[in-house]
Amino acid sequence: MPYRQELVARHPSLQASVVPAPVKPVVSTDWRKGLPVLTSHHVTLRELRASDAPSLFALLTTEEVSRFISPPPTTVDGFERFIAWTLRQRQAGSYVCFAVTIDSTDTAIGIFQIRELESGFGAAEWGFAIGSAYWGTGVFSEGAKLMLKFVFDEVGVHRLEARAVVQNGRGNGALKKIGAIQEGLLRKSFEKNGERLDQALWTILAEDWNAMNTQAVILH
Ligand SMILES: CC(C)(COP(=O)(O)OP(=O)(O)OC[C@H]1O[C@@H](n2cnc3c(N)ncnc32)[C@H](O)[C@@H]1OP(=O)(O)O)[C@@H](O)C(=O)NCCC(=O)NCCS
């Protein structure tokens, strides 16, 4: 992730954010019928719309963003088809993709997605990509916390996996920072430009997430 095989078809205000972002309770919804809007201090996760295609195309197809992930669609039309596909998969109950927006703007600057690894979403894999102008700003951490709350509390996932190419310093650093545990190394498991690369396998269990939240309540 991001982008399934079948698809191959600085923000300053955030840097100043030293207060831990409160993650508002997710209002329980049937996410298969439509995704809830998840909001924190600066970040909102919401359903993708066809009109997000131009900004996602501009921000997520750069070399630095796409270097270590499956190839993104190569045109705005391709992103529109990707977005339509994400909505169909969400309705089918096997996949969810949120757009990332910040502050009062509604522009999609990235995506967070999960796909089920076992029937009923007991185990899932997540992936994420954010425009490089927003790297190191706190967008990832805020968005990831919203996503994890949704994944564990709403979808009911008990084991969440992520795979990151070993050379992807930011991807691995981000997963470690959010509390994921590296379980192992998937040797030569990702092919990019004819090269087979090793990936780190990172996991977060529902009990890890509950412990992180209990700790956060005790600390604050
Ligand atoms: C992955 C991604 C969403 C993370 O967002 P981000 O804003 O870059 O992440 P953050 O800056 O919050 O966290 C990255 C951490 O990795 C650290 N890091 C950066 N380069 C590193 C390296 N070479 N080795 C180890 N850690 C590194 C950073 O210092 C940071 O930790 P810190 O905040 O404690 O200093 C973003 O980089 C991205 O979209 N990358 C392209 C797509 C991608 O690779 N997706 C992930 C697939 S698993």
17-49 confidence digits (pLDDT tens): 434 555 555 555 799 999 999 999 999 999 999
Residue 131 CA, closest ligand 1 atom number = 39
Separation CA 127–CA 9 (nearest Å)? 19
pLDDT at 148: 97
Q: Which helix (H) or strand (E) holds 183?
A: strand 181-192
pLDDT, tens digit (0-9, with 9 covering 90-100), for 178-194: 999 999 999 999 999 99
Supply the CATH number for residue 149's domain.
3.40.630.30
Range of the domain at 63: 5-219
> Closest Cα partner for 158 from 122, 194, 111?
122
Round the CA-based radius of gyration of the chain to a whole number and report it. Answer: 16
pLDDT at 18: 39
Separation CA 41–CA 69 (nearest Å)? 28
In angstroms, the Cα distances linking 28 to 101, 130, 141, 150, 168 are 21, 26, 22, 9, 35
* CA nearest ligand 1 atom 3, residue: 129
Cβ(115)–Cβ(160) under 8 Å?
Answer: no
pLDDT, tens digit (0-9, with 9 covering 90-100), for 113-132: 999 999 999 999 999 999 99
Cβ(199)–Cβ(165) under 8 Å?
Answer: yes
> Closest Cα partner for 104 from 42, 58, 147?
42
| 90 vs 14, higher pLDDT | 90
Q: Which helix (H) or strand (E) holds 38?
A: strand 38-39
CA 169 / ligand 1 centre spacing (Å): 6
- Please state the domain count of the chain: 1
CA 15 / ligand 1 centre spacing (Å): 15
Question: Hey, is 17 helix, strand or coil?
Answer: coil
CA 12 / ligand 1 centre spacing (Å): 17
Which of 170, 186, 204 maximizes ligand 1 atoms within 8 Å of its Cβ, making it the mutation to test the pocket? 170
Tokens 């396998």: give the residue: 201
